[in-house]
Structure 1
């Protein structure tokens, strides 16, 4: 999914016209197939195409800073690649353990936490939220189910009150603001991407369901990350923030280049900005301190990246993120019964997405795609702003993760560097 809610509209008008003016120039830049020898890591022999694709991304200038990619198959790591800079300004190179902000790919981690609660019999996807959190039912939210929240049908893409950093740190005051919010539509009747509030609501559910009353961040750390030796967290301690990969935004020229390569990006920009409702504006203003636009990235601020935002501030290396979901689909974290539940979406792509206008298949907190090799099957995972991605394929025994700090103009299917790696992975397993 692509989130351009904070992109300056004047800049957007420039982008709409620039490809027409600069088409001859960029035509000469679209054809090179260059390998780059500065990338590191290894792949199993049958996955050499994955390494080639990763090298091409750097050699063709598609990786402005640094990136990492990891693939697990049948519980075993078959590819782990990294390259470029964790911080280009200071010449700090990307390492195999470099951690980066996951943005909305964090939602996959939050959704895995909910799946473990389902697996342990503490909650059911069809439960009404008020069964566990009575205060949530105010202002017509009484009928909202857990699955409504996870498939973005709760009708709460932003809160009615301002969200302060202290609310997030304290936790309970934030839950009270969630309770007092009126839904924009009747819960369960429509879906609209809950970019940040997804995490607020899911965190509240975890706090109410967990017998120990833990936050989602603490539950994940104590029940999943630490037992499996995973260096993944929802937010980081402020002293760790300088060691994360430093995020940089795309230049204007990158937007132009990528729009020319894939005009669907232009369509997405238009859908996000040339519309008559105010929903996108309200989302980007709530909270005001969470900024991601062409010249500002608030998640480089230790005060922001340290916040426990289960929809945004997940932090991980590509390898640990891929291993997390490898453990999940191979019986270490979830049972086969829960995996069977997760195998298919609950909301197909043929619906009007009220926020992005771009319909995607959703369910259980994940985004779904049709399996590229197996008819009737699905893969699931979650994209993150600027091209982060976690992809899970129980049928093929695959989990993979891509992270980068040089953010791209598109995410998911509109992110060229990631989709190239995904295709290379499936081409590698097609005949093995």
Structure 2
């Protein structure tokens, strides 16, 4: 029997969710039954004997025992099938109509009259990327005139406003005193913003909050579609990204990685629309994985030929935390992209998610040309139009063509212009906030936009 089969007290969902009521857990577990992604047979095969120790209810066990411990909820084959099926529908997000911006303020005013205040919650102990996303979400809501406060797990639970969004529930509800927030009155009244991929233990940890929440924002269009199919209110949402001219702060200049930069890549200011004179040919920031290890090892000769800057973070370092060197490190990733011709994305494993943070927020926003191995389709960003996509084994040839060949350079400039124009569009910001308000209003029962 697996060690996550411990029995709960009658009033609690499980010993791993002590503040989550059994009644809400049972209601939430039923949402799993509507998810084609979840298979009772697969779950029992992955965890033989475990379900038998918790009244034999597979869905309840998965949500209240397996998920809180990061246990696999779905077989990889089923995830791959579901993502492929979702990709056929999740890219159907319609382009905004022209009147959206002109009428935005009226709809924002109606929403603000009902919900003038909002809180965006993010763990103080989690990955610093999540704090960046929280800041971007707050900016989107402030665009509608809302009074938005970013808070963490040390805030007063009793002061939660009716409009509350929890970023990265896999961190917020599981780290430190955030565990105290995993209770009915909080979770069922909140919206959550999921950033994690379906096959990871972090997604599993987020699952109890996802299925019990008022609604889900997801950074993946495919995941949002899968939630929606299961009757879970969900919206694909990527925070805004705009062209940057500077990432580093004065305190970052003492970071050891700055010393490793070429002399002409140490300036804090860069031009996101200037490309040909950038001193770094190709850069990569990411954590280690067997797939990446194989790619970089196999193509070491190519990277040695180019002016390359590769930061390859070992897993034992753990997540990039906001209260360590992490703040400087994430800014350095953007800074390096701002001095690189090409920002490279290589997927961690066989699941080819569109890596928004690396590809858009760091790479495209810094004026770098993004090159990636094949991704799941994106509703608005397309290969050959906003980035280059190629099978991993052919990426070295593509890099050399883009950097050294006149035709390659010309094609690179075309794609860079498309991306810069897109990220410079103020209309896109209003459209995104308008869509957020419409989704929130519908779930909150209001009459807003």
TM-score (norm. length: structure 2): 0.25
Say which one has the larger Rg: 2
Q: Of Structure 1 and Structure 2, which has the larger fraction of its residues in helix?
A: 2
Relative contact order (C-alpha < 8 Å, sep 6+): which is higher? 1
TM-score by length of 1: 0.26
